[in-house]
Amino acid sequence: MNRKTILHTGLLMLVACLISCMSSQQTTAASSRIFRPEEYGAKGNGRTNDLIALQRLTRAVNECGGGIVVFGKGKTYRIAIEDDPNGGHTAVPIAGAMALNFEGCQRPLTIDMQGATIELASNHSTKYAFFRFFNCKQFTLQGGKLVGDARTHDYTPAIWRGKQEKSTHEWGTGVQINGASGTIRNMSISYMTGDGIYAGSFKKDGVTYHSRTIYDGLEISYCRKNGIGQLSTDGTEFLNCNIHHIGTSDHLQGTSPMAGIDFEYEDKLGATGNITLRGCNIHDCAQNTIIGSEKSRACPQIFLMENCLIEGCKLHIGNIEASKKKIMRHCTISAPILLGFTQVDSCTFQIGATGLSVSGTTFRGCTFSGRLKDFDEEPHGSCFMGNNGDTTVFEDCTFHDIRGTNDNNISHQGFSGYAFSLNAQFRRCTFQNVTFGRGKANVKSSYQFDQCTLDKDCVIYNGDDEQPIVFKNSTLSGVTAGTKKTGRFQYENCNLIACPLTQSGKPTFKKCNVKK
The alpha carbon of 92 is separated from its chain's Cα centroid by a whole number of angstroms, namely: 23
Distances in whole angstroms, Cα of residue 74 to Cα of each of 39, 138, 145 = 17, 25, 10
The C-alpha angle 299, 300, 303, rounded to 5 degrees, equals 120
CA distance 45 to 68: 22
Beta bridge partners of 142: 112, 185
Residue 138 gets which letter from DSSP? S
CA distance 133 to 103: 6
CA distance 247 to 254: 4
What pLDDT is recorded for position 89? Answer: 81
17's enclosing H/E stretch is helix 3-32
Burial class (CB in 10 A: 0-12, 13-18, 19+), 267: middle
What pLDDT is recorded for position 305? Answer: 96
CA distance 448 to 485: 20
End-to-end CA distance of the chain: 106
Residue 240 gets which letter from DSSP? S
- Helix H segments across 49-208? 51-64
CA distance 413 to 416: 5
Give every CB contact of residue 154 below 8 A, 6+ residues apart in sequence.
122, 123, 124
The alpha carbon of 97 is separated from its chain's Cα centroid by a whole number of angstroms, namely: 28
Phi (first) and psi of residue 442, to 5 degrees = -75, -15
CA distance 144 to 140: 12
What pLDDT is recorded for position 112? Answer: 98
CA distance 360 to 318: 10
**Exposed e or buried b per residue across 18-51, where buried means at least 16 C-beta atoms within 10 angstroms of its C-beta:** eeeeeeeeeeeebbebebebeebebbbeeeeebb
CA distance 273 to 175: 21
CA distance 203 to 51: 29
What pLDDT is recorded for position 484? Answer: 58
**Exposed e or buried b per residue across 200-214, where buried means at least 16 C-beta atoms within 10 angstroms of its C-beta:** bbbeeeeeebbbbbb
What pLDDT is recorded for position 477? Answer: 95
The full DSSP string for 300-359 is: -SEEEEES-EEESSEEE-TT--SSSEEEEES-EEES-EEEES-EEES-EEEE-TT-EEEE
Beta bridge partners of 302: 325
7's enclosing H/E stretch is helix 3-32
CB contact at 8 A, 286 and 248: yes
Helix (H, G, I), strand (E, B) or coil at 9: helix
The alpha carbon of 137 is separated from its chain's Cα centroid by a whole number of angstroms, namely: 25
Sign of the CA dihedral with 286 first, then 290, 293, and 294 last: negative
Burial class (CB in 10 A: 0-12, 13-18, 19+), 379: exposed
Residue 217 gets which letter from DSSP? S
CA distance 408 to 381: 13
CA distance 365 to 443: 29
What pLDDT is recorded for position 163? Answer: 83
Mean pLDDT by 10 residues, the chain (516 residues): 50 43 50 92 97 97 97 97 84 89 96 98 95 95 98 90 84 94 97 95 77 96 96 89 96 94 73 86 94 65 93 82 79 89 93 78 94 46 76 96 72 77 94 86 83 93 81 95 75 93 82 90
**Exposed e or buried b per residue across 487-499, where buried means at least 16 C-beta atoms within 10 angstroms of its C-beta:** bbbbbeebbbeeb
CB contact at 8 A, 434 and 456: no
Q: How many residues does the chain have?
A: 516
